[in-house]
Structure 1
Amino acid sequence: VVSAEENAETGRDIEYEVHDGIFKLFCDKAGTPIGDGTSVDLGIGKSPSVWKVSLEGTGDNPTRTECMDNNHIRIGWDEYGETISDATDYSNNGGSTVLNAFYNRMQIGDIVMSCYSSKTIDAIGVITGEPEWHDEYQHYKRLRKVKWLVKGINEDIVDLNAGKTMTLSSVYKLSVSVSDALQILRRVKPTLFMQNVKIPNRVFIIDEINRGNISKVFGELITLIEPTKRIGAKEQLRATLPYSGQSFGVPDNVYLIGTMNTADRSIALIDTALRRRFSFVEMQPDSAMLKDVLVDGIDISEMLDTINKRITVLLDREHTIGHSYLLPLKSDPTLERLAVIFENTIVPLLQEYFYDDYEKIQLVLGDNQKPDDSTRFIVRRNDAVKLFGNADIDFPEYYEINSEAFKRIDAYAFL
């Protein structure tokens, strides 16, 4: 995300934000425990950020004590007054980045960590309220309500924060992941979580996985999906993400399923590293899914089996027709629906598979067994005499798709 807001503190006009990708968000959520079939109610949002906040400064101070006692956080920049808007002039004192974070980017349900020193935090909470202005305080009048989950701790987060110490800025996003924050909570205050806690299995599905450049998609993270390298395993491994600097690992309850179509031959290009980390399970067409589906007496399940046996003999078993093409017949078992499926889907697929070798396509469709052209899906034509007269040239025959045959139920009797 690119923001064109002027940043008076850094002198830069454009600021780039790094957001978690879908797989990282998935892995963070996968580590969230559940109990008795419901989520643990900590107030944490669905896709929370983890924020650092400085309460007056480092170490013990009156503002920190007051915030801990009254379940909120407070920051300053009081000189700008109660209202912060696009018209606010930050040219003299700065603060635009901090106030933008506090008012706009920080959301209810986000996690906040109270900075005690450059390396340690003393509390972890969840944002529960919108920004408020409290004139009763002499300083630090900007306030947001917080539900403190743990207080009075002394937790070094440098390693979790991509090896970086915390800066003096009042509010900013940390590189600490949600799963790491939850691990701290579970360790220092296990009573926060339900007694019958369990971590359910989560499934991440990548459709057409062989279509992407696997080495570029996964990069070094491909090592993290190995069973022995998962979080919780004896040889657990984490990687430091290049842009956010966050430490990232894949929980052992995450299962990855990749689908691919072997008929397009791109499976041969699958990276060896991917082959070693996945088990390959063949999924052949399942005609049983079409059991008891009849169209004017034609058994669709048997018809699919016959077509696929012919394709296997004439080509190979990798190009058999999937049952999904015929599933619409379960709810609409009509000749009209069958005709549309054959003319618009199955015949074009056979044309692609057999490279327009229409003699073989005729064999697959049983056209060679039919008594006349009226029921043949593919018909042979030779109009040379009609077109050119008695020319002394051997003109080749050509083939046409007979659209009328798809509308006749007896045309399907030889399938």
Structure 2
Amino acid sequence: MAAELDQALWHAALALLDANFHFRSVLGTSPPRRSYRLEPNAPPINIVFKDGVIAIEMALIVPELSHRRLTLDLGGALSHRYRIVELADLELAIKRMTGRLSPSASSTSQSVTTESAPERSMKAPTNTILYGPPGTGKTYRTAEMAVAVCEGSAGLSREAIMARYEALRVEGRISFVTFHQSYGYEDFVEGLRPNVGNGGQISYDIQPGVFRMVADAARLNTVVRSGLQGAPLKERTVYKMSLGAVGWAKSSAMFNACIEKGYVLLGWGKDIDFSECDSEAQVRERVREEWPDDKRIKSHTRFVNVFKNEVRVGDLIIVSKGNSAFRAIGEVTGEYEFLEEGVFGNHQMRPVRWLAVLDKEHDVSEIYDRSFSMPALYQLNSSFIKTEALDALLQAQRTASNLPYVLIIDEINRANISKVFGELITLLEPDKREGALNAVTVRLPYSGDDFSVPSNLHIIGTMNTADRSIALLDTALRRRFEFEELQPDYARLSERVIAGINLGTLLAALNERVEFLYDRDHTIGHAYLLDAVSLGDLDRAFRRKIIPLLQEYFHEDWAKVRLVLNDTSGGFIEASKWLPKGMSEEGDDVEMRTRYRVNPDPFGLPSYLNIYS
């Protein structure tokens, strides 16, 4: 009983930390431990379950927990360790770190639940926009944030972060899209796309956009209830089943419906109710009564009989994708049911518990020594099933459900937000997500499907304030996103000195003039100078990036560009008086104009120093 209470407290503590900290690491083992942070680089709070003791370690002292102080080595580098006997102890530590406390969805100080780790509540969805001038590392930062949301990135190098980012992108858990002026609802949510048939005939099919695809993938990940119950795998009967015909436009929608609703559907049998048919002969007779002229009575009979009378509760169904791949595995949990209102024209149903739903189909050779055959439903030969591989795949799914998914939207302010999101803008709010108190579902205009946004989908956007001020951003978007400003980071350049030129000081002085003459939204980011290690690099950065950017900012007002550069000697921008040949100030009553050009010679050391001296 004591062990069960310890487990219950452990899971409740994780749920409470999930509710209060946005960034967390993967759950470690030997012993179980996890790190939580308010921000990617903030000090962590570690929770450990070791030798029957649940404990935390942190950098801050919690005076209220002095009676819980531990000397036990928890394997971390933080100096203050406390034992957690009840959730109230953990609440004190969280309040000390954050100054607030958000109760978890599944536990309070007075009650401890015993839900399993895959079932505990997920962290609140994140809608965040990183905004700032160009070159401040917004897109650079999104990779770090996305990996941190998915699995934590505490202490990882940039190379390790990008390796995890790419792996998560390949898995389908991180998606990236860039908005532009012509981007629309049809690209983002769903729309009609032309399809050229074999005979050159053009048809228009409804295709999902990037947002719907990542939302569907995130939703499917939440419906998996991993882990076999009862008889071991080697004692199970395993069937291969197709959900929807190959090439059928509705196959994907039907598959998603089956996953979300927890059942499998059989197309054979039409709209006939076989509830009273307990044998193949009775199934055949029923088909003949309803459809006497059907030429496929034999096929209807065979597949319906297997589906209703041969498949047993506890059997496994592997959902195929063609003859060489599979994409889901389910355990049959109930008897045959007839659906009066068919789903995509299918009326024959068996309830299942999904043990695995794969983001990308897997090759059949992973679990079976033969390719699948064409029949919609049949029993697999047990001698060809790779039991150990199949069991390993199912075990892996124990930690692969309820996982966070991330959609990164670069340059989110360059598109017409109302046009791109349409009616879905409301669904982004955390309390309007699936499973939330005020959950909202809408019907999509093209497909007619019901759609909602899952709670495990996080959205990170970037916004270049030089393109559009945040004050001009769509009000509906501003209400539904949190905004994090990224300004030029002079500290990253403060130790970078080239021939006596301090790049941090130089950029700070340059930006001070930009802000005075224009505004802070058009300052120049530190990324423009990060790669400069020589005077040649610095010349290239100014000549090809910074000066053209200033020229654009000030609409070719070269006098202001020279003011920003404090270019009093013409080291960057040469100025000369100019009057075309054949014209004179006195005779033609004109005045000489000033002609500007970028100095074609390498910029001199005094010109750089003069920017901040």
* 1:235 correspondence with 2:431: no
Alignment of 1:170-181 (within 5 A): none
Quote the Cα distance in structure 2 between the aligned partners of 1:281 and 1:267: 11
- Specify which of 328, 332, 339 is matched with residue 151 of structure 1: 332
Structure 1 residue 266, shift from structure 2 partner: 5.7
Greater RCO (CA < 8 Å, at least 6 residues apart): 2
Percent identity of the aligned residues? 36
Match of residue 503 from structure 2: 300
Residues 348-391 of structure 1: per-residue CA shift (max 9 Å, x gap): 111222222222221211212x4xx4xx2122211449874674
Residue pair 1:378, 1:399 contacting (<8 A) in 2 also: no
Quote the Cα distance in structure 1 between the aligned partners of 2:519 and 2:411: 21
Match of residue 126 from structure 1: 319
Residue pair 1:377, 1:402 contacting (<8 A) in 2 also: yes
SS at structure 2 position matched to 1:220: helix
* 1:23 correspondence with 2:211: yes
Task: Flag the 1:202–1:146 CA change in 2: closer, same or farther, 3 A.
Answer: closer
Match of residue 410 from structure 1: 606
Task: Flag the 1:268–1:153 CA change in 2: closer, same or farther, 3 A.
Answer: same
Residue pair 2:408, 2:461 contacting (<8 A) in 1 also: yes
Structure 1 residue 342, shift from structure 2 partner: 0.9
Match of residue 54 from structure 1: 267
* 1:397 correspondence with 2:593: yes
Alignment of 1:103-114 (within 5 A): none
Alignment of 1:161-176 (within 5 A): 165-167=343-345
Task: Flag the 1:395–1:224 CA change in 2: closer, same or farther, 3 A.
Answer: same
Quote the Cα distance in structure 1 between the aligned partners of 2:338 and 2:560: 67
Quote the Cα distance in structure 1 between the aligned partners of 2:459 and 2:411: 13
Quote the Cα distance in structure 1 between the aligned partners of 2:492 and 2:457: 29
Match of residue 354 from structure 2: 185
Alignment of 1:14-413 (within 5 A): 15-33=203-221, 49=252, 50-51=254-255, 53-57=266-270, 58=272, 59=274, 62=280, 125-127=318-320, 130=323, 149-151=330-332, 153=334, 165-167=343-345, 185=354, 195=398, 199-265=402-468, 267-329=470-532, 333-368=533-568, 370=569, 373=570, 376-384=571-579, 388=583, 391-392=586-587, 393-413=589-609
Match of residue 90 from structure 1: none
Quote the Cα distance in structure 2 between the aligned partners of 1:284 and 1:148: 48
Q: One-letter code of the match for 1:16?
A: Y
Quote the Cα distance in structure 2 between the aligned partners of 1:324 and 1:145: 45
Residue pair 1:127, 1:145 contacting (<8 A) in 2 also: yes
Alignment gaps of 5+ in structure 1: 8-12, 66-75, 79-113, 117-121, 132-143, 171-180
Quote the Cα distance in structure 1 between the aligned partners of 2:565 and 2:295: 78
Q: One-letter code of the match for 2:213?
A: L
Quote the Cα distance in structure 2 between the aligned partners of 1:183 and 1:237: 26
Task: Flag the 1:391–1:250 CA change in 2: closer, same or farther, 3 A.
Answer: same
Quote the Cα distance in structure 1 between the aligned partners of 2:454 and 2:444: 16
Q: One-letter code of the match for 2:577?
A: N
SS at structure 1 position matched to 2:485: coil
Residues 136-161 of structure 1: per-residue CA shift (max 9 Å, x gap): xxxxxxxx9997623363698989xx
Residue pair 1:377, 1:405 contacting (<8 A) in 2 also: no
Q: One-letter code of the match for 1:150?
A: E
Residue pair 1:342, 1:406 contacting (<8 A) in 2 also: no
Q: One-letter code of the match for 1:353?
A: Y
Q: One-letter code of the match for 2:210?
A: I
Structure 1 residue 222, shift from structure 2 partner: 0.7
Quote the Cα distance in structure 1 between the aligned partners of 2:467 and 2:579: 37
Residue pair 2:330, 2:352 contacting (<8 A) in 1 also: no
Task: Flag the 1:5–1:200 CA change in 2: closer, same or farther, 3 A.
Answer: closer
Quote the Cα distance in structure 1 between the aligned partners of 2:421 and 2:526: 32
SS at structure 1 position matched to 2:552: helix
**Count of aligned pairs:** 318
